Amino acid sequence: MESRKNLTGSVGGIAGLALTFTGVAGPYWPVVVAGLYGAGALLAPPERPPLPDFPDPSAQLEELREDFDKLSTYLADIELPPAASGRLTELSELLTALLDPGWVAEILAQDPEGVHALSRAVRQDIPEAVDTFVRTRWWTRLTPGTEPPERHLERQLSLLQEEFGRLAATLRDVEARRQESLTRYLEDRSD
């Protein structure tokens, strides 16, 4: 009933009735009304399918916070060497600060690549790095003299910390540019 084709056709049909009452359609008024309805229905633009309902970035961040809590619980049960444990603690603090609800999360929500990078780190990179370390450590005990897996874990955690340090710096720069823009606007307004 409410489709575009039906509404456009109905407008055409009403125009046909108007032509009938003014005497233009004559004895063929049913054909004129039906023809104008059909022409309107054919000329109407097709229905557009609705856009997919994707979760907004703040909902994605909420899910990511929940996953980060699960990851933190998992990591609490893993025994790591002191150096790797320190790196993991620093990385966790940085991720906690980035995922903390508030104005930082609002800025982060505007950066889909940053949200994706955080998601990848929480859901894939960190768990895989720690799990690979645990598995490799077991094999290293069987074959002494090989490179210790702690070095790889420390390097992986360092690389992740560098990546998210750059993300934090980018978010800080966004706010600095916003502040500078406001200053310029106020200066221009006062001139």
Quick: pLDDT tens for 23-69: 887 888 888 889 988 888 888 877 777 888 877 777 888 899 999 99
| Angle value at C-alpha 168, between 109 and 160, nearest 5 degrees | 105
State the pLDDT at residue 158: 94
pLDDT greater than 80 at residue 172: yes
- Which pLDDT score, from 0 to 100, does residue 1 have? 63
pLDDT category of residue 154 using cuts at 50, 70 and 90 = very high
Q: How confident is the model at residue 94 (pLDDT cuts 50, 70, 90)?
A: very high
Which has the closest alpha carbon to 74: 150, 127, 110, 19?
127
What is the distance, to the nearest Å, from the Cα of residue 75 to the centroid of all Cα atoms in its chain? 26
Within 10 A of 45 (CB to CB), how many other CB atoms are there? 8
Lowest average pLDDT, out of 41-55, 100-114, 155-169, goes to 41-55
* Nearest-angstrom CA–CA distance, 177 and 166: 16
Task: State residue 120's pLDDT score.
Answer: 94
Instruction: Quote the pTM value.
Output: 0.66
Measure the CA–CA gap between 135 and 149, rounded to whole angstroms: 9
